[in-house]
Each structure stands twice: as structure tokens, then as C-alpha cells.
Amino acid sequence: MDSGFRIFPERGSTNAEGVDDLYFYLLLVSFVFSALIFILVITFAVKYRRRPGRERAARVTPQPALEIAWMVLPFALCLVMFVWGARLYVRIYEAPPGAMEVYVVARQWMWKLQHPEGSSEINELHVPVHRPVRLVMTSQDVIHSFYVPAFRIKQDVLPNRYTSIWFQAIQPGEYPLLCAEYCGTKHSGMTGRIVVMTDPDYERWMSEATSQGSLAAVGLQLFRGLGCSGCHTGAADARAPRLEGLFGSRVQLEGGRSVVADEAYLRESILDPRAKIVSGFQPLMPVFRGQLNEDDLIRLVAYLKSLAVREGRPDQP
Ligand code: CUA
């Protein structure tokens, strides 16, 4: 990272080039058409200006070919923007399978970033180069926005909800992290940095980082401490659904609907179990809304996700 002035931030991720290409296309189209319009307005204003002997406009003969052209051409150019943008959007928001996960909790005015292995960081995120990293993010208070210009990613971070985005860094270095949503007095100070490291450096950093045990392990303690394991025993005749292999699978609900058990579903089912009742079960589970903070929720979600991995392919019943 150098601090010299530049119009465009450096390109630090695999998606940066694609985003820039689309941006340049938009710039080019806007520039060409603005220039065209200004040139024509001025040319015609001069050419057809009122002067003695030419007081009235001549009759204009319709030219269908020209009229079709100025409808079809802008339409085609806009369609290119739409298709290009939509494809890029899908690529940016769908993390590749096997991406490393990092949990982000935003609060006024700091970023807390947690690795599944247990180490957590404040306003700093260390990641290995050339590995996709998926961020699962939530806020403890107001809306923030996770913005890393060099990676061309910006995603709002909302209270009571998980949002996610991913990136893959292409070279080691330090990249600024900013908050891109006005969130109060010290919004402008809500900054940090992403430190991209080579694999050996990252391994070393990871082994030195202080850790209180993996998120899933702490989650298991919470799971027992809150009494969840009393009902979610995993037995066939248990009062509560089996949680092994749940994450990523399709869940059949009362009333015939079904949902995919993603992070948002796990979160909702912990906080407000009655929102979605699993088919064949009674609404017995206590409501945990207001009793768990975001950090604990992330630990529980990480634990539930670890159960799916142990069971192998999560989407196979
Ligand atoms: Cu957080 Cu602006």
C-alpha cells in the first residue's frame, strides 16, 4: 500500500479487474454520448440559427432508419450493462465452495473480525494470499458498511441479520478497510486494514495469535450451558430436530414449505424458534431473543455449521 494519490485504488483482488472493466465501459458510454449530445446541440444551434431569409424551419421528412437506430442502439448498450453487471454481481456475491470464513461484528465504531479457529482481531484482518475468504457479517447497533476499495467490495452490515461477501487477494500487502455507511460521530474513524500474507507467514501469524479455542468449541460449551443439548440430543425420538448435517440441507417446515438451512435460518431459529417450525415437531423451544449477543450467536452458528461438516456432504439427506 502506498499513499500516493491515485484516481483508482490499486487492484488487490481477483474481482477487481472485472469491476474496473465494467466501470470503464460505463464511463466510456457516458462520455461518448454526453460528448455527442453537446456537439450536436452546439452544431445544430449554429447551423440552423435564425437569420434573414430563413425565418421558418424547413419541413422535416421522417427517416425511419435513423429513428430505429437511436432506439435500438441505446437499448443494446444498456442491455450489455445489465447482463455484464448481473454476471459480475453473481460472481461477487457467491463465494466459491471451500472459501475460508471470517465472522465480522460491526459496532460503533469498530470492526471485530473472528477467525473460525478462534483468534479475533479488532480493526485488522489477516488473511492468506490466493485463498477465497468469505465474510459473514452483522452489526450490534446501526447499519455499517464493509468497504475495501482495493478489493472492490462494499457490503452493508445490518443489525439482526447476516450479510456476506467474499474476496480473494492476489498479492501480499496491506489494504485499507473503511466504513462506507454513515453510522454516527466517529464514522470517519471506523477504519482498519486487511493484511494479506503469504501462506507461511499466515501460518506463523495464526500460531502466534491468541486464541480461546475455536469458535465451534466455544459454541459447543454455550450449547451445553444454555441447555440446548437437553432436547437436541440427536436421537430419533428427541423432542427437537437433529442438528447433525443440518447446515446447508433443505428443511421441511410445518405447512408444507421448505427452506435451506443457511446462517440466516440458524440465527432466526435460535432467536425466534417459532418463526419456522420444523415439520413433525412442537413449538417447545424457548425464545433467545435479547439473551444472546452477536458474538455468542456467531459461536453457536459456527458450532452448528461444524456439525454439518462432520457428517460429510451437507446437501445429501
Ligand atoms: Cu460504521 Cu460508518
> Measured from the CB, is residue 146 less than 6 Å from ligand 1?
no
Ligand 1 center–CA 264 separation, angstroms: 22
Read off the pLDDT of each residue in 91-104 and give the average, rounded to a whole number.
88
3-state DSSP assignment of residue 164 = strand
pLDDT at 312 over 50: no
Strands 110-114, 100-107: parallel, antiparallel or unpaired by DSSP?
antiparallel
Element counts in the chain: helices (H) and strands (E) = 6, 12
**What pLDDT does 72 receive?**
95
Ligand 1 center–CA 16 separation, angstroms: 23
Q: How far apart are CA 135 and CA 13, in angstroms?
A: 14
Other C-beta atoms within 10 Å of 22: how many? 17
> Measured from the CB, is residue 104 less than 6 Å from ligand 1?
no
Q: C-alpha angle with apex 231: 259 to 139, nearest 5 degrees?
A: 55
Ligand 1 atom nearest to CA at 142:
1
Q: How far apart are CA 129 and CA 191, in angstroms?
A: 21
Question: What domains can you pick out in the chain, each with its CATH number?
Answer: 7-44+62-211 (2.60.40.420), 217-314 (1.10.760.10)
- The predicted model scores a pTM of 0.71
Separation of CA 20 from chain center: 18
**What pLDDT does 261 receive?**
84
Q: How does the average pLDDT of the chain come out, rounded? A: 85
Residue pLDDT, tens place only, 261-297: 888 888 888 888 888 888 878 877 878 777 788 888 8
What are the residues whose beta carbons fall under 8 Å from the beta carbon of 112, sequence distance 6 or more?
104, 105, 106, 120, 121, 122, 295
